[in-house]
Amino acid sequence: MRTRHLLWMVLTCAAIAGCHARPPSAASESRDLCLAEPDGGAPVDDAIRHTQGQARKLPTEPHSWSLVGQGWVRKARMTTDPGFYVNVRACAEAALVVAPNNRAALQLRGLALMNDHRFEEARGVADDILSREPNDALTLGVQSDALLELGRFDEAAAASQRMVDVHPDMASYSRAAYFRWLEGDTDHAKLFMRYALNGRDIQDREPTAWTFVQAATMYWNEGDYEGADAVLAEALKWAPDYAPALVGRGRVAISLKRPQQAIDYLDKAYAKSPLPETAWLLGDAREMVGDHAGAAKEYARVLRDGRATDRLTLGLFLATKGLEPEEALRLIDTERKTRGGVYLDDAYAWALYRTGRIGDARTASDQALRLGTRDARLLYHAGAIRLAAGDVQGRDLIRQALRLNPRFDWTASNEASRMLADATLSLAR
């Protein structure tokens, strides 16, 4: 009996030692948003519910919140609904209340910041993690993405290279492919894309679908429309009704002058993920079939949604269509305060061109071409700007653009053809 008394004391002490003053529990709102019902019956929803159950049981364990957040990231990607990043951010904050330096939670915060277009803050978070864990592949990815968005190409490429060195897989190779493509090295870009796709995982289909979409975009940019369409069809096998793949097929169908087919794809894509870019393409497709009222409706959507959330797309849309040039310039100029990169430089150059500021447009266009990106839009814009500045080399750039991707944009490629014909005529005179 004495032994039992001793045991009793030991066990009771141990049980009490199992308690400690309660650490701060996750802030109520973050917790509630993290634990929100995912409203769906897909495997990703079941996974979220499962991890939410763990988080309820272990609210003081930061890891349990991070796992829920990772589930929300997957849902956001699968559904192409960025709104679920609100839940991601909530899970990150819930975990960080419990453990302020938790790496998984900081990574989630970084992803949420990227989604919010708070690139500088996302980079800061990534730098912070990497100062402690220099070889963390996921964080290197966030850092690379943030630096690229900020227009710091060389540093972004270096982070991407480190990511490949540390963790050569689909994620790192697809990033490497994109960097190569931006630099105009399309052969290596395709090679890396193949490496990336070698790592496809049947259990996790969306990343593979996304990588196929990226690969298809490379083919499309080279004017290989049939090839691009085949790759996009493959993407849809991996993730049926995947909006980015549907948008890609819509774009390809426009290039192939099959507007009705494009409308079918884009309507479906817009229903799933109503982005200004999709509305723009839909408007173009409707214009092609002569549905001017329908096109106007789509273009109105671009204006409405672009004003709220996507200044770059709206600015480029206005500049491409030759509408409200000052407004286009203002939108893009505002965007330049928070990000950079060759595509933003190109949009800025084109907006300046539309407002008649050819000198500034030329400077911006040079910046847009600095990496040697083989994108017909960039080349056309650069060519038009050079022609406007009296530089006949512009003609070669426009020709190069049309040779590379003859129907890169319904409005712009027609405009480019006309411009090239005019330039050739005036040169002949």
Partner 1 sequence: MPRCHWRVELVGIAVVLATLLVPGVAHAHAVGTSRGEYALQGRTLTVRLLFARAELVSLLPELDGDRDGSVSDRELRAAWPGLTDAIVARITFDAAAGTCRGTLQDAALEEGDGLSIGAAYLCTSDPQTLAATLGFLDLLPHGHRHLAAVAAGASGNTGRSVAPGIAYIGHAQLTITGTASNGLWAAMGLGRQAGRVFRLGVTRVLTEPDHLVFLIALLLVGGRSRSLLFALMAFAVGHAITLALSAIGGLSPIAALVGPAIALSVAYVGAENWFVTSADGRWLVAFPFGLTHGLGFAGSLQQMPLAPSQMPLALATLTGGAEAGQIAVVLVALPLVLLCRRLCCQQPRVADRVLKAASAVIAVVGLWWFVNRIV
Type of residue found at 218: M
Taking CB under 8 A as the criterion, which residues in 346-375 touch partner 1?
A: none
Structure tokens at 390: 């009296």
CB 405 within 8 A of CB 376: yes
Applying CB under 8 A, which of residues 207, 283, 340, 394 lies at the interface with partner 1? 207
d(CA 343, CA 341): 6
Q: Is 59 near partner 1 (CB under 8 A)?
A: yes
Buried b (16+ CB within 10 A) or exposed e, 51-75: bbeebeeebebbbbbbbbbbbbbbb
Q: Is 102 near partner 1 (CB under 8 A)?
A: no
CB-based contacts of 110, cutoff 8 Å, min separation 6? 122, 125, 126, 129, 139, 142, 146
Q: Is 91 near partner 1 (CB under 8 A)?
A: no
- For partner 1, which stretch binds (CB under 8 A), given 29-37, 219-227, 260-268, 416-424? 29-37
Applying CB under 8 A, which of residues 49, 63, 190, 357 lies at the interface with partner 1? 63
What is the closest distance, in whole angstroms, from the C-beta atom of residue 429 to partner 1 in the complex?
41
Applying CB under 8 A, which of residues 125, 141, 383, 409 lies at the interface with partner 1? 141
- For partner 1, which stretch binds (CB under 8 A), given 107-115, 222-230, 367-375, 407-415? 107-115
CB 39 within 8 A of CB 90: no
CB 354 within 8 A of CB 322: yes
Q: Is 15 near partner 1 (CB under 8 A)?
A: yes
Q: Is 202 near partner 1 (CB under 8 A)?
A: no
Applying CB under 8 A, which of residues 92, 94, 96, 115 lies at the interface with partner 1? 115
CB 380 within 8 A of CB 408: yes
Q: Is 146 near partner 1 (CB under 8 A)?
A: no
Site string for partner 1, 248-287 (x = CB under 8 A): -------------------------xxxxx----------
d(CA 170, CA 9): 56
Applying CB under 8 A, which of residues 27, 45, 49, 117 lies at the interface with partner 1? 117
Instruction: Count how many Cα atoms sit within 13 Å of the Cα of residue 23 in the half-sphere of its side chain.
Output: 13
CB 8 within 8 A of CB 1: no
- For partner 1, which stretch binds (CB under 8 A), given 59-67, 124-132, 221-229, 230-238? 59-67
Q: How many of the other CB atoms lie within 10 Å of CB of 284?
A: 24
CB 87 within 8 A of CB 69: yes
CB 69 within 8 A of CB 95: yes
In the bound state with partner 1, the residue whose beta carbon lies nearer, of 67 and 387, is 67
Taking CB under 8 A as the criterion, which residues in 396-425 touch partner 1?
A: none
Taking CB under 8 A as the criterion, which residues in 312-341 touch partner 1?
A: 312-313, 327, 330, 334
What is the closest distance, in whole angstroms, from the C-beta atom of residue 218 to partner 1 in the complex?
14
In the bound state with partner 1, the residue whose beta carbon lies nearer, of 145 and 409, is 145
CB 143 within 8 A of CB 121: no
- For partner 1, which stretch binds (CB under 8 A), given 7-15, 280-288, 381-389, 417-425? 7-15
Q: Is 429 near partner 1 (CB under 8 A)?
A: no
Task: Give one DSSP letter per residue of 135-197, joined into a string.
Answer: T-HHHHHHHHHHHHHBT-HHHHHHHHHHHHHH--SHHHHHHHHHHHHHTT-HHHHHHHHHHHH
Structure tokens at 277: 């870019």
Q: Is 377 near partner 1 (CB under 8 A)?
A: no
Applying CB under 8 A, which of residues 91, 157, 206, 361 lies at the interface with partner 1? 206
In the bound state with partner 1, the residue whose beta carbon lies nearer, of 76 and 96, is 76
In the bound state with partner 1, the residue whose beta carbon lies nearer, of 212 and 410, is 212
Between the CA of residue 409 and those of 48, 111, 113, 261, 267, what are the distances in Å?
40, 31, 31, 16, 18
d(CA 124, CA 348): 26
Q: At what angle do helices 137-149 and 170-182 cross, to 10 degrees?
A: 20
Q: Could you give the residue ranges of the DSSP H alpha helices within 58-136? A: 62-79, 85-98, 103-115, 119-132
What is the closest distance, in whole angstroms, from the C-beta atom of residue 418 to partner 1 in the complex?
29
Q: Is 221 near partner 1 (CB under 8 A)?
A: no
DSSP 35: T
What is the closest distance, in whole angstroms, from the C-beta atom of residue 419 to partner 1 in the complex?
28
Applying CB under 8 A, which of residues 305, 345, 375, 409 lies at the interface with partner 1? 305
In the bound state with partner 1, the residue whose beta carbon lies nearer, of 77 and 374, is 77
DSSP 340: B
In the bound state with partner 1, the residue whose beta carbon lies nearer, of 169 and 396, is 169
Site string for partner 1, 70-89 (x = CB under 8 A): xx-xx-xx--xxxx-xxx--
Q: Is 143 near partner 1 (CB under 8 A)?
A: no
